[in-house]
Amino acid sequence: MRIGVTVFPGSNCDRDALYGVERMGAEAVELWHADADLKGVDAVIVPGGFSYGDYLRPGAIARFANVMGQLEEFAKSGGPVLGVCNGFQVLTEAHLLPGALLRNTHMRFVCDRVRVRVETVDTPWTAGCDPGEELTLPVAHNEGNYFADPETLAELEEEGRVVLRYLENPNGSANDIAGVCNEDRNVVGIMPHPERVSDPALGSDEGLRILRSVLVGAGV
């Protein structure tokens, strides 16, 4: 399986995501922001970082990058897309996912490891997890406070589209939401960084539970 990782100016988890893809046993493909070409990949990860310096708003400029047009088509045709951290912010700015990520309520950057619960296994990025499975994953963000209007939140809950939920909320997110998916369930955005715990040498490879799910869905 070939998995693309988009690289925007200011992405800084792109190399970690490429490494994570290697750790999950897939082929990693770098997708440069200026090239409108997904290189025929089977899935795409939009990594974390500070694309375009987070100037204006996180993700607000990245959504206009050349690569995004193709990515939107890929997403709409059902291709598996995972946005991590800044990648989640990019996907909400591009309206591929509902809601928005606001400043953490305590107004501080937070880098930590937090416990989350897998709320649905009906997405390509959680299909390999057990329902209700609890994972400890790193977070590192300034704007991770998930926000959506009450109707959208109710819809997400009813349709089982909350993908990960914090057991200890680090940022003030509505309904303790750490990740959501789109209506078609193929596009997932999460604030925690599974690629940062993809190697036992770093004390944990629990992140592979998420990353390897996409292999399960593809029957690999």
Partner 1 sequence: MMGRAPNFLELSLFSVMWSEHCGYKNSRPLLGRFPNEGMRVVQGPGENAGVVEVGDGWALAFKMESHNHPSAVEPYEGAATGVGGIIRDILAMGARPVALLDSLRFGPLEEEHNRYLFREVVRGIGGYGNAVGVPTVGGEVEFGRAYSGNPLVNAMCVGLIRVEDLVRSSASGEGNLVVLLGSKTGRDGIHGATFASDELTDESESKRSNVQVGDPFCEKMLIECCLKLLDEDLLVSLQDLGAAGITSSAAEMAAKGGVGIEIETDRVPLRESGMEPTEVMISESQERMLAVVEPEKVDEVLRLAERYELVGAVVGRVADHGDLRVLHDGEVVGTVPAEHLADAPVYERDVVRPRYLEDVPELDLSGLPEREDYNAILLQMLGHPNFCSRRPIFTQYDHQVGTDTVILPGADAAVMRIKGTDLGFAATTDGRGRHCYLDPRGGGAATVAEAYRNLSCVGAEPVAVTDCLNFGSPEKPDGYYQLAECIEGMSEACEVFGTPVVSGNVSLYNETDRGAIYPTPTVGMVGVMQDVNRRATPAFKREGDMVVVIGSGSPPSLAGSDYLEIVHGRVTGRPPSADLGSEKEYADLVRHLISEGIVDTAHDISSGGEVVAVAEMALAGGLGITYTEGEFERKIAGQGRGRTDVALFGEECETFVVAVPWERWADFQAAVPGNVGYDQIGTVGGNRLTIPGLIDVSLSDLKEAYERDLFEQHAPEGGHIG
Q: Is 195 in the site for partner 1 (CB under 8 A)?
A: yes
User: Measured from the CB atom, is 165 or 196 closer to partner 1?
Assistant: 196
Window of 42-50, 118-126, 144-152, 172-180 that interacts with partner 1 by CB under 8 A: 42-50
Apex 72 CA angle, 146 and 188, nearest 5: 35
Give the residue from 44, 52, 62, 47 showing the smallest Cα distance to 186.
44
174 C-beta neighbours (distance < 10 Å), count: 17
User: Measured from the CB atom, is 20 or 79 closer to partner 1?
Assistant: 20
The answer to whether 119 is a known catalytic residue is: no
The answer to whether 85 is a known catalytic residue is: yes
Q: How far is the CB of 202 from partner 1 (least distance, A)?
A: 6
Contacting residue, 19, 60, 115, 204, with partner 1 by CB under 8 A: 19
Judged by CB under 8 A, how many residues of this single chain contact partner 1? 32
User: Measured from the CB atom, is 52 or 146 closer to partner 1?
Assistant: 52
Cα separations in angstroms, 169 against 10, 22, 28, 86, 196? 27, 30, 32, 18, 19
| Residue 153 · residue 47 · CB < 8 Å | no
Burial of 201 (0-12, 13-18, 19+ CB in 10 A): exposed
Q: Which of 119, 141, 181, 193 is catalytic?
A: 193
Q: Is 111 in the site for partner 1 (CB under 8 A)?
A: yes
Give the residue from 184, 46, 197 showing the smallest Cα distance to 115.
197
DSSP letter assigned to residue 194? G
Q: Is 37 in the site for partner 1 (CB under 8 A)?
A: no
The answer to whether 193 is a known catalytic residue is: yes
Residues in the site for partner 1, rule: CB under 8 A?
9-10, 12-13, 15-16, 19-20, 34, 48-50, 52-55, 108-112, 138, 140, 142, 193, 195-196, 198-199, 201-203
